[in-house]
Amino acid sequence: MSINWFPGHMAVALNEAKKAMAEHDVVVEVLDARCPMASANPLVETLRTHRQRPCLKVLNKMDLADPAVTQAWLAFFNAQKDVTAIALSCKKQGEAAKVVSLAKKLAPHRNDNLKPLRMMVMGVPNVGKSTLINALLKRRAAKVGDEPAVTKALNRYDLSSDVILTDTPGLMWPKIEHESDGLMLAASHIIGTKAYHESEVAVFLAEVLLERYSQALAARYNFSADVTKGMDGVSVVEAVAAKRGYRLKGGAFDFEKAAITLLTDYRSGALGRVSLETPASFKAKVGTQAGTALPLVV
């Protein structure tokens, strides 16, 4: 299943972000720690490198991601030119405060009241940009919601006399090249629900869980020790339906309800700390294309 989601307001917001990039010193790109490269908009990379702006990559929701995999991602990003990466939970003000100090190190020429640091917060929808803004401001200024694309315009905030923040709308890109990226984004509730079928995304998620987190899967749904052996994604969702008693009239499994349960449990962390991709799986997927930015066509 190929998933793409690029509502009209995003094209407008992308052009606004392109213009605003020239007036900012550092790009703070918020990623989902469970799928950092799938949630990295290649247009953000293109825009910032075109303007030669350093980037602070914030792997948000680290409390939901596999800690060992997150450490591998930090090493992956920190090896890149003009990039610093940090993993945190934007809901925790103490952790969010690290963002400003790291951003200042990326732009040491902007460190006084005459030359305030100008940070542009970017990322895909529903990844935690507005939550980060609110944590830094220590008040609810940016609108937050549990649905993608809540923010629809650029908003500027004066964090202090020497730091300015700009919150941008969640931005997707016109075409998601790799099918698995779209599925990871959908599973992580980054793409609007009208762009995909929960059942197909849940099957994909189940297959990842079988491969990497079968014990967590068995523990969550009280499967017997060997039950996951020989299963595929479809049979996992059916097994969830059986364990939870999800039935349709006539006795058939309620596959859709079980699919939504699996997705909800992953998104909430009820399945434990799960990462959907690793640096190794990313490199295997893209091969020699790794690190290649999209042409600047905006």
Q: What is the pTM of this model?
A: 0.89
CA angle 74-288-27, nearest 5°?
A: 40
Residue 288 has pLDDT above 80, yes or no: no
pLDDT level of residue 1 (50, 70, 90 thresholds): low
User: What proportions of the chain, in percent to the nearest 5, are helix, strand and coil?
Assistant: 45, 15, 45
- Three-state SS string across 122-162, please? EECCCCCHHHHHHHHHCCCCCCCCCCCCCCCCCEEEEEECC
- pLDDT at position 111: 67
What would the pLDDT profile of 123-180 be if each residue is shown by its tens digit?
999 999 989 999 998 887 755 555 544 555 788 999 988 899 999 988 999 899 999 9
Among 48-52, 157-161, 270-274, name the most confident range: 270-274
Residue whose pair of structure tokens reads 């003009």 in the numeric block: 82
Q: Which CATH architecture has domain 8-175?
A: 3-Layer(aba) Sandwich (3.40)
Q: What is the pLDDT of residue 151?
A: 54
- At 234, is the pLDDT very low, low, confident or very high (cuts 50, 70, 90)? very high
For the chain, give every domain's residue range: 8-175, 197-280
**Neighbouring residues of 88: CB distance < 8 A, sequence distance ≥ 6:** 58, 59, 60, 62, 95, 96, 98, 99
Query: What are the tens digits of pLDDT across the range 80-103?
Result: 999 999 999 988 778 888 999 999
Number of residues assigned to the chain: 298
Tokens 């401001």 belong to 137
pLDDT top residue among 147 and 14: 14
Determine the average pLDDT of the residues in 227-246: 91
Q: Which CATH number fits domain 197-280: 1.10.3720.10, 3.30.1200.10, 3.40.630.30, 1.10.1580.10?
A: 1.10.1580.10
Band of pLDDT at residue 18, cut at 50, 70 and 90: confident
Q: Which of 67, 69, 63, 71 is nearest to 90 (CA)?
A: 63
Q: What's the confidence (pLDDT) of residue 4? A: 79
The distance of Cα 268 from the centroid of its chain, to the nearest Å, equals 14
Maximal C-alpha separation, the chain: 72
Which burial class, exposed, middle or buried, applies to 56 when counting CB atoms under 10 A from its CB (0-12, 13-18, 19+)? buried
Confidence check: pLDDT of 225 > 70: no
Tokens of 211: 């491969």
Give the residues across from 253 on adjacent strands. 247
Q: Above 70 in pLDDT, residue 296?
A: no
8-175 and 197-280 in the same fold = no
Write the CB contacts of 80 (distance below 8 Å, at least 6 apart in sequence): 291
C-alpha dihedral sign at 260, 262, 265, 269: negative
Q: How confident is the model at residue 228 (pLDDT cuts 50, 70, 90)?
A: confident
